[in-house]
A and B are shown apart, each in its own frame.
Chain A
Amino acid sequence: MRRREDLPEDDLLRLAAKGDEEAFVCLYRRHQGAIYRYALRMTGSAGLAEEITQDVFLVLAQQPKRYDINRGELGAFLFGVARNLVRKHWDRARPEISLDSEQRDDPALPAAQLLDPQAADPGVLFARDQAVAQVRAAVMSLPGDYREVIVLCELEEKSYEEAAKLLDCPVGTVRSRVHRARALLMAKLEVLRGRPRRAMAQ
């Protein structure tokens, strides 16, 4: 007999719909990371991300019929639920992140240092954390549609096609949103680093 972990998603869904708790947990473990990270990156709050993740899987636990296997993959369905919950959260309270409140020291690092996980110099580590915090703040300050494509295409490293499928919009729309979002991010980071440069924000 195959272990639950080895079963395809369809079988796990059938078992879960019949009340098999381990099948449900298998599905949860397969998808929770992506859903949690999406919610975390979109809301900027671990607590909210936790709440949204729980609500997404509650839908699967309590209303399994809402997912129609013929209409797409389970991951896409769960992402859609998470997306709706994130948008509801935005409607309730739009978090405004003040760029002025961020540190204005210029910790801009060369790209190589930003990406070098072995960098042991405390000064470099501190500067790197500061730089990442600035990027995070800049991402969080983007309008929702732009933030979404940055989260999907840059942080989750999805292709334009994959993102378009998840967002249910044309690939061209995703591409132009990514370009616009990147331009905005560059402009915001220049502001954060105290070096406005008009050319970057075009």
Chain B
Amino acid sequence: MRCEAFADVVHDLGRFAALDRKTREEALAHAQSCSRCAALKDAVESLEASLVALGFQDERAEAPQRVEAALRAAFRANRPRMLARSRRVVWTWGLATAAALGIGVLAWQEWKPTQKAPAGQASPPEEAYVQPAPVANTAAQQPSAQATANSASNSFLDASGFLPLPYETAPAADEQADVVRVRMARGSLAAFGLPVDGERADELIDVDFLVGEDGTPQAVRLSD
């Protein structure tokens, strides 16, 4: 090894991972035969020892406790914003899901053969009210008008003028259901997938909901 090559590797002699064994041995052999390079090697080793000593001095240096206290305070102060942010995320996803559902319902309504709703409006009550009317929801009691209906439940719904809500499953045959009458704006029917005449959207109408045992509306019809 020549002096130039030695000078190039002398700083890596103390780093075992940085130099291969053969080069290291050649460098050490050169330092034994060249006094100038031996002096350079000694100087480098002295510097390394100084740096290690410096490293020792700061080895356990850590930020004072007050930094942690200040960060805890800052974290607490920021927490309401973080929670609000995560709530915003939940709301955003919720609204997006609702919008997607609404679009799906409308698309389904477009595709599905529409069923005429009764047009009459017989002296509706002033306020929304509830008429619990337990309905024995069995196919035997309410034979279906549509022979092609898939299930007894659906047959019942069709025969009684109820239109199943598209995103709800039809009540089971032996499930009890209540009819709940509600006065609402005609435009609100769109939320249930029913077609709405835009010009009459503000008109108040009575609507019957078939509410399942779990309180979920399962079908809807316009009240006569």
Contact = CB atoms under 8 A, between A and B. Distances in A.
Interface of A: 17-19, 21, 24-25, 28-29, 32-33, 35-37, 40-41, 49-50, 53-54, 57-58, 61-62, 64, 108, 111-112, 114-115, 117, 128, 131-132, 134-136, 139, 150, 154-157, 159-160, 175, 178-179, 182, 185-186, 189, 197, 199-200, 202
Given A40-B61, A200-B43, A139 B54 contact: yes
Most A CB atoms within 10 A — which of B62, B68, B70, B71? Answer: B71
A186 B71 contact: no
A135 B129 CA distance: 88
List of 7 A-B pairs having minimum Cβ-Cβ separation, nearest first = A111-B49, A36-B63, A135-B50, A155-B55, A154-B51, A19-B79, A53-B63
Q: How large is the interface on B (under 10, 10 to 19, 20 to 34, 35 or more residues)?
A: 35 or more
Given A178-B11, A179-B11, A114 B72 contact: no
Interface in B1-33: 7-8, 11-12, 15, 17-18
B122 interface: no
Given A54-B70, A154-B52, A202-B7, 5 more contacts: A28-B68, A28-B71, A37-B58, A111-B50, A175-B18
Contacts of B75: 21, 24, 61
A28 B70 CA distance: 12
A134 B51 CA distance: 11
A179 B39 CA distance: 17
